[in-house]
Structures are given as C-alpha cells and as structure tokens.
A and B are shown apart, each in its own frame.
Chain A
Amino acid sequence: MVKHSNTDDPWALKVLAAVAALGPKRHYDPVITSELVKKDLVSLIGASQKLEEKLELTHSEARHDRRNIIGAIRGYSEMLLEDSDALPSAVRTHLLQILAAAKNEPAPEPHSPTKSTALLPSEEPGVILAVDDLPENRELVSRLLQRTGHTVISAESGEEALELLDTMGVDVVLLDLVMPGIGGAEVLKRLKDDERLRATPVVMISGQQDMDQIVGCIEAGADDYLLKPFNPVLLQARISAGIERKRWHDREERYREQLERREQFIRATFGRYLSDDIVDEILERPEGLELGGDLREVTIMMSDIRGFTTLVEHLPPQQVVTLLNRYLGRMTEIILEFGGTIDEFLGDAVLAVFGAPRRNDDDPDRAVRCALVMQEAMADINAANSADGLPEVEMAIALNTGSVVAGNIGSERRSKYGFVGHAMNVTSRIEDVADPGEILISHTTFEKLAGEYQFGNSRALSVKGIEAELRVHAVLGRD
C-alpha cells in the first residue's frame, strides 16, 4: 500500500495506487500460465517498488527518475496487454487502469483548463452507443460520458449494436474493434451499407497492436479512433466532434428535404399549366418563386367547344366529364408540347399564352402551329367520342399578340400566375366570332408570323374600346 502522502508527485501516487490495486501476487499468479507474462508482471511490480523508493526524494533528478520509471510501468503494462489472451480478465482490467494512470499525467489541481473543459457539461449532449464486449470498458465509457450529460446506451456485441442502431436514434457510435462474433470492422461495414445509418459518426476503439485494422476502418468510413485505454479528455473531444458532425448532417438533411418538398409543390402547382422545361427554369432561378408582375408581349390563345353549353344540357353529367377530360387532356398535351403556358380552363374553354413566363422569338409561330395541331387532333377526339356513343364536337381557336401584365395575380389567400390587359379582351372578342373548326388570328399576330401558312378570308371586327376596326385572318394550314 502507498503510505506516502507528503509527496508533491500526484502522478506517481496515482500510478502506485493503480499497481497496488492488482493485489497480492497469490491472487493472480496461479491463474497465469505463461512464464513470460509472469516475469513481466514481476518486472512491473518491481518497477513500482523502485518508484515508491524514490517517492520521498525531492531533488529534480529524482523526479526525472520517477518519470522514467512511470514510463517503464507504462511499457510493461502495454506489453502485457498485447498478450491479453494470456491474462485473466480481472488482471487485464487492472492493467488497463495502470496503463491509464501511467499514460496520463494528472492535471495540476487548482483550476486547470484541461480538467475544467473535460468535466464541463457538453454543450450539445447526444445519444452515444458504446459497443464493447468487456463490461468494465462499457461501464467506464458510460460513466465518463454521462458525467458530461450524454445519454449512453451500451451493447455487448456487434449483433446487439446492430439491433440497437436499427431501433434507436444514435448520434455517435463508439465501436470496439475486437469482439467475439460480429467484430467492430463488420459492424462498421454494415452500418455504412445502410442508407439510414450511413451518416452516423463512428469512433473506433482499439489497442495499439490493431493499428493496421484501424487504418482499414478509417478507410471504410470510420470517423475517428481512440486507443485503449482512452484519455478521458480525448474521448470527450471525439464524441463532441462526432455529435457536431451528426448535427450538421441532420440539419443538411432537413434542409434538403424542405427543398425537395418545395420543388414537389412547385411541380405539382405549375406542372399542370407549364411545360416541364419551363418548370425547370423557374426552379433553377432563385427568384423563380416570385413571379412578380411584368409587362410582356405574348401571343394569347383562347379556344372553346362550340355549342358546348347546349350539349351539356342533353348529356348525363358523367358523360360531360368524360367528354371534357378527353378534350382538355389532349389539348393540354399539345399546348405544353408547343411550349405554351395554360393559364386556365373555364368549362370547355382553354386560355393559354405563348411567351410567358419565358419569351421566345417564335411565340406567334408556335401558337399558330399549336392551333393547327389542336384542330387536327379533333378528328381523333371525335372518333373516340363516337366509339363511346358521345356526340362529335367542334372547336374554335382565337389568337392575338399584344402586351399583357404577367405575374402572380390575386389575393394573399388565392393567387395564380396569370395575365391581364387589353390584349386579353381583344382575344376574347375574336374568339366570340370564330366559326366552329376555325383558327382566327388578329392582324398583330399575322404580322409577326415568320412561317408560311395558308390563310382564308380576312375580315374586320369592331371591338369595344378600340376606335379602329380589328382585322382578323383565318388560318387554314401550313404551306
């Protein structure tokens, strides 16, 4: 037993106490089979006796000697632990404690910064899974980490660790490398293979002799490692770093999910009215969500089924819906195909624009080509209608080009990307006079066309609010 209390060398005292805890030789000697291990243990005890002899010498040379002897005790315990198979587990535990004592000089007592940081409650306590087959190691880790406010769950095998990981939210895994059954390296591999667990930081724990395997584990995705016996300060530091990494990852994940939800929302909201590439464009621009009002030139398309209101009165509601969906479905496809933006459906009427939110030089041409394809598609729609016993229908389309205000229009509660302006009214007026099966375009649109088309008679309309007559042209087809 250590009798010296008047020394100023707390480190030596700590080491001596740890060695003394081994107890009398008769307790462990009979259960050790290896002669070399016995001899090393004797050397270790011998070294501690030398250390004790030098304890009361105060000159600096004696202090230097004590440091050397502590180094020797550390060396013997390290060496003995390398043969840990030959050691009873109680001796092994004592040796781990001796090694810990010999390795770490205690911090000077009053207000040591190292000590105070080590024992302060962690700023971000987390859930730590400690995996070790030795109960004393699990207990040590739990005690150290709980002291700083962490929640520690422990597992005594790789199997148990994997089970716990599956069901518990764990911030950091402290993973012993060498365990019977599923070893640390395998647990690490399975964790990294699992998409949900991959981001959980892993700190490997091992003895010096397994350095090669530790390197392998770091390569396989372990975040850090600790050598046994751990320095408590280092353990806390690694755990804190791990928790911080995990928190960053979680935040990033949440942010990414938020973005994804937003994107899904935008696609769902706009995807029905805008072609995919325009949705992409809106999403890619950071200001995409704020489709603020701006004045722009667009080609407006209005179409409707002639005589639809009368038709509806004679059909059962289910058939009306079938008819409408078939017609609007096909028209939507075509309009989106030509890069038009569908502003709204009003019963059988479709309002679409070409040139917003994205302007192209050929907006009027695309609108006209789109209208022609829409009219052609009516044959198929009517064939399908006939097959279902539904009446055939005819559509009229009006096109006009002019400036409109485009933007999110409405109230805070309900708004949509829409268009307002005189050009809209003009289009509506043209639509009113268009014949069934006809495509009627304003003179403004007519003048902006670059492609060659066949036109029918042009005629003049008078429109409320416009002094001059409005000239319109019927498009018959492409040249």
Chain B
Amino acid sequence: MTTKESRPLLLVEDNEVNREMLQRRLQRAGYSLDCAADGQEALDKMRELLPALVLLDINLPVKDGWTVAKEASSDATIQDIPIIALTAHAMASDREQALAAGCQDYATKPIDFPELLIKIERLLNS
C-alpha cells in the first residue's frame, strides 16, 4: 500500500444525506472512500488511514473545517495529505480562507461533480 491510488479518500461531511450521496457518487466514479461526520473524527481518521486526499466540509460540528485544516497542516504525519475544502458560498473570502488554512483547493456547494473530479484528479496526480 504505497501508491496514493491504493489509499482511500476521506470524505468529511456532517450532513448525512449529502455524505451518502457524495460517497455513492465517488464510489461510482471508482474511488475507495472513508467517511467522517465531524472535525475530530476527520483528524482521527486522517492519522489512522493516511488517506490519499481529504474532502473537507467546512461547516462541521465539534471542530470546524478550518480548525481541522490548520491542525492537519501542523502535524508532520498528515500535513502532506491534500485537502479540498467544501464551502457553502462561492465567496472570494472562502477561497482565501481555505488556502490560508492549508487547503490545496476548494469547491463550493452545491458541488459541481465533474469539476470536483477534476480537482481530485489534479491533486492525486501532482
């Protein structure tokens, strides 16, 4: 299990319905996937599974997405895992904040799925 492709993606999303939908679509697109429903669970699973990439909802209970991203970037064991922030608004400030928090990319909700796939592939192959 050394190649990125063999490691799962981690989807962090507290809204159950949306999480299941994204999980289903991503699996259908050929990715193996693990899920987390809050910020703490996200950090735990990142350390445990070393996912190839994290799709991180920002509006999360327990610890919000920004906190997760900042903590991850200061943890040497997981700081190289690319993170795509999933934000609720297409606001420029979200983009700045996502990049400042250490996310490599961001996608606004509602998710444009083909665009998300392109972003995932770009990060997995970089």
Contact = CB atoms under 8 A, between A and B. Distances in A.
Interface string A99-131: 000110000000000000000000000000000
B88 A64 contact: yes
Interface of A: 40, 43, 46-47, 50-51, 64-65, 67-72, 74-76, 78-79, 102-103, 208-209, 211
B15 interface: yes
Nearest to A40: B24
Interface SS of chain A: helix, strand, loop or mixed?
Answer: helix
A85 to B, nearest CB: 15
A302 B52 CA distance: 96
Nearest to B110: A71
Given A43-B20, A68-B17, A70-B110, 12 more contacts: A43-B24, A47-B17, A50-B17, A51-B17, A68-B13, A68-B15, A71-B109, A72-B22, A75-B111, A78-B113, A79-B25, A103-B110
A293 B25 CA distance: 81
A75 B15 contact: no
Nearest to B111: A71
A80 to B, nearest CB: 11
B21 A67 contact: no
Contacts of B21: 43, 47, 71-72, 75-76, 79
Interface of B: 13, 15-18, 20-22, 24-25, 28, 59, 88, 109-111, 113-114
B113 A65 contact: no
A348 to B, nearest CB: 83
Given A208-B114, A211-B114, A68 B18 contact: yes
Nearest to A83: B28
Contacts of A50: 16-17
Contacts, number: 57
B126 to A, nearest CB: 21
B110 A74 contact: yes
A69 B15 CA distance: 8
Contacts of B15: 65, 68-69, 72
B109 A68 contact: yes
A51 B25 CA distance: 20
Give the interface centre of B13, B17, B59 by most chain A CB atoms within 10 Å: B17
26 contacts: A40-B24, A43-B21, A43-B24, A46-B17, A64-B88, A65-B15, A67-B109, A67-B110, A68-B13, A68-B17, A68-B18, A68-B109, A69-B18, A71-B111, A72-B15, A72-B18, A74-B110, A75-B18, A75-B111, A76-B24, A78-B113, A79-B21, A79-B25, A79-B28, A209-B114, A211-B114
Contacts of B22: 72, 75
Nearest to B16: A50
Contact of B113 (A43, A51, A208): A208
Contacts of A64: 59, 88
A103 B22 CA distance: 16
B62 to A, nearest CB: 14
A471 B16 CA distance: 114
Contacts of A211: 114
Contacts of A67: 88, 109-110
